Amino acid sequence: MISEWVVSILLLFGGTFILIGSIGLVKLPDFFMRLHGPTKATTLGMASMLIAAMVYFANSGHGLSVKEILITIFLLITAPISGYMLIKSAIHHKLKAKEGTKGLDNVEDD
């Protein structure tokens, strides 16, 4: 009973965060700002959904499953790397940043 509550809360929490990350993708004005949604909000959302899966399967008689921890670790390792590759190629293609972005002269050409 308690585990059902925990699973529901974690799923709702994770779902909300993934939704907010996706809203950020649509709503924010330029590429660099849009990048903040998927590198952060989605990571936490996925992590809490995976923990929910772990709690659910631990209580459904299938024995303790720990593979979800592995998925979380890989997600935490790969999310910043893919974000880094995206922003690096965006700089390389000289994508326009939003008007009024400070410190644009800090970006050097490569």
Question: Given candidates 61, 77, 93, 94, which one binds other proteins under the rule CB under 8 A?
Answer: 77
How far is the C-alpha of 31 from the C-alpha of 46, rounded, in Å?
A: 22
Contact status: 21 vs other proteins (CB under 8 A) = yes
Question: Given candidates 6, 11, 15, 39, which one binds other proteins under the rule CB under 8 A?
Answer: 39
Helices 67-92 + 42-59 axis angle, to 10: 170
Contact status: 1 vs other proteins (CB under 8 A) = no
Q: Which residues, other chains included, contact 50 with Cβ-Cβ below 8 Å and sequence gap of 6+? A: 68, 69, 71, 72
Contact status: 60 vs other proteins (CB under 8 A) = no
Q: Is the Cβ of residue 4 or residue 16 nearer to other proteins in the bound state? A: 16
